[in-house]
Amino acid sequence: MELPRIEDLGDLRGRRVLVRADLNVPLAVERGEWVVADDFRIRAALPTVEFLRTRGADVTLCSHLGRPKGIDARYSMAPVAKVLEQLAPGVEVLENLRFDPRETANDPSFAQELAHGHDAFVLDAFGSAHRAHASVVGVPALLPSAAGLTLLDEVEHLSVLLEDPPRPYVAIVGGAKVSDKLGLLTALAERVDAVLVGGAMAFTFLLALGHEVGDSLVEEDHVEACRALMDRATIHLPEDLVVLESTEPVGAEVHGPAGRVVGRDVPRGTRGLDVGPRTVERFGEVILGARSILWNGPMGLFEDPRFAVGTTGIARAVAGSSAYSVVGGGDSARALREAGLADQVSHLSTGGGASLEFLEHGDLPGLAALRQAAERRP
């Protein structure tokens, strides 16, 4: 995909460039004050900022942060501004774009206000490029615009899987809901050689095959869709499961009894919370034979260490593979980072929903807006 680049913006000396970055960082309270809990997204914005500044541009950053409903001090950009003072002194950051409801409404008057006083626009927020918001699609309609370095890197890595992935191409899909990922699964069914399904979504597939699911998370209204997918693609389902009594609490801080391993049927009064060891082994074999891998979504309720074994096992298999490997999705990326394996994949995508939509549709509203901006330029 050809996107306009910063170099295409011409001479930037003394020009004021607005950069839409993804500064949607996790915050935490420390000594009664909101601080940035993990600055990886701020760091991801720096290459573009530095690239622009070495070309003489004056940079202003903007982003959303969380999902505030109107102005809300809890979602202020102030903690981010503080980190930026250290990492990129002199770079200004606007207040949370979503404090203004016109941002998500893509109100042209808000895009005008953002564009005002700037000579060019750079979109570097891949994780927001699937949203038709004012700062994503409205501003590029008003200013000469280009793709930032982090966004370009994302698009280039994901495009490999869309264009000509080395085969066999294996997708591993997990997570909570099959309904969240039906579009992705349907698109993947056409393109991949096999799909390994884990996580809670596996239970809707298992239900479609007539298995007992106990109290596991299922979406009965998607059983038909799962059946249709299994007719069209090679889908591997878990062969064994880790279950726990339904009355037992689960979660990151819970220290309760360990789960027990069962086959494909979940006993009554229990729920399936992870894939079992045989599944990790079998999925691992398929992963070992792959030359391209996409992984999205954990294999179990990995926030609770009792049910993280399947996800960690798959993370190791993906990291150990020499295939072209892309990991996307907020929770799968977190699992890989926590396992210390983030640098052992070809690409760790920063854009959860955006990467899924890009892999599904091959384009995103923000990318289309950049191309249109380039067409307008003489």
Positions marked catalytic? 41, 177, 330, 353
| Alpha-carbon gap, residue 24 to 65, rounded angstroms | 4
Longest dimension (CA), the chain: 69
Q: Is 23 annotated as a binding residue?
A: yes
Q: Is 332 annotated as a binding residue?
A: yes
Q: Is 84 annotated as a binding residue?
A: no
349 conformational bin, left if phi > 0, alpha if psi -120 to 50, beta if neither: beta
Cβ atoms of residues 134 and 110 within 8 Å? yes
Q: Is 96 annotated as a binding residue?
A: no
User: What does the block give as tokens for 272?
Assistant: 């399936």
Q: Does 199 bind ligand ADP (CB under 6 A)?
A: yes
- For the CB of residue 171, give the shortest distance to ligand ADP in the complex, in Å: 13
Q: Is 33 annotated as a binding residue?
A: no
- For the CB of residue 200, give the shortest distance to Mg ion in the complex, in Å: 12
Q: Does 103 bind ligand ADP (CB under 6 A)?
A: no
100 versus 331: smaller Cβ distance to Mg ion: 331
Of residues 163, 125, 161, 157, the one with CA closest to residue 370:
125
Q: Where are the alpha helices (DSSP H) in the chain?
A: 40-54, 78-87, 108-115, 149-163, 178-191, 202-208, 223-232, 277-288, 309-320, 330-338, 352-361, 365-376
Among 273, 286, 294, 374, binds ligand ADP (CB under 6 A): 273
The DSSP letter of residue 135 is: I
| Alpha-carbon gap, residue 282 to 289, rounded angstroms | 11
User: What does the block give as tokens for 172?
Assistant: 């591993």
Q: Is 66 annotated as a binding residue?
A: yes
Residues of span 127-186 touching ligand ADP by CB under 6 A: 175-176, 180
- For the CB of residue 302, give the shortest distance to ligand ADP in the complex, in Å: 6
User: What does the block give as tokens for 316?
Assistant: 């190791």
Choose the one of Mg ion, ligand ADP, none that binds residue 4, judging by a C-beta under 5 to 8 angstroms depending on kind: none
Q: Does 200 bind ligand ADP (CB under 6 A)?
A: yes
Of residues 21, 121, 39, 136, the one with CA closest to residue 79:
39
The DSSP letter of residue 145 is: E
Q: Which residue do the tokens 């990467």 mark? A: 355
124 versus 331: smaller Cβ distance to Mg ion: 331
107 versus 180: smaller Cβ distance to ligand ADP: 180
Q: Does 349 bind ligand ADP (CB under 6 A)?
A: no
Q: Is 64 annotated as a binding residue?
A: yes
95 versus 248: smaller Cβ distance to ligand ADP: 248
| Alpha-carbon gap, residue 348 to 339, rounded angstroms | 13
Return the half-sphere exposure (C-beta side, CA atoms, 13 A cut-off) of residue 136: 25
Which segment (14-22, 71-79, 207-215, 299-307) binds ligand ADP by CB under 6 A? 299-307
- For the CB of residue 330, give the shortest distance to Mg ion in the complex, in Å: 4
Choose the one of Mg ion, ligand ADP, none that binds residue 365, judging by a C-beta under 5 to 8 angstroms depending on kind: none
Among 331, 333, 358, 374, binds Mg ion (CB under 5 A): 331
Choose the one of ligand ADP, Mg ion, none that binds residue 76, judging by a C-beta under 5 to 8 angstroms depending on kind: none
Q: Does 353 bind Mg ion (CB under 5 A)?
A: no
| Alpha-carbon gap, residue 343 to 294, rounded angstroms | 15
Of residues 324, 326, 334, the one with CA closest to residue 359:
326
9 versus 301: smaller Cβ distance to ligand ADP: 301
79 versus 300: smaller Cβ distance to ligand ADP: 300
User: What does the block give as tokens for 279?
Assistant: 């599944």
Phi, psi values for residue 245, rounded to 5°: -55, 135
Choose the one of Mg ion, ligand ADP, none that binds residue 298, judging by a C-beta under 5 to 8 angstroms depending on kind: ligand ADP
Please name the helix (run of DSSP H) or strand (run of DSSP E) that holds residue 194, with its range, or none: strand 194-197
Please name the helix (run of DSSP H) or strand (run of DSSP E) that holds residue 187, with its range, or none: helix 178-191
Q: Does 35 bind ligand ADP (CB under 6 A)?
A: no
- For the CB of residue 266, give the shortest distance to ligand ADP in the complex, in Å: 10
Residues facing residue 313 across a β-bridge: none
| Alpha-carbon gap, residue 293 to 160, rounded angstroms | 11
Q: Does 351 bind ligand ADP (CB under 6 A)?
A: no
Helix (H, G, I), strand (E, B) or coil at 58: strand
Contact positions toward Mg ion, by CB under 5 A?
330-331
Query: Which residues fall in the annotated binding site for (2R)-3-phosphoglycerate?
Result: 41, 98, 131
Q: Which residues are annotated as a binding site for ATP?
A: 181, 272, 303, 329-332
Q: Annotated binding site: which residue ranges?
A: 22-24, 41, 64-67, 98, 131, 181, 272, 303, 329-332
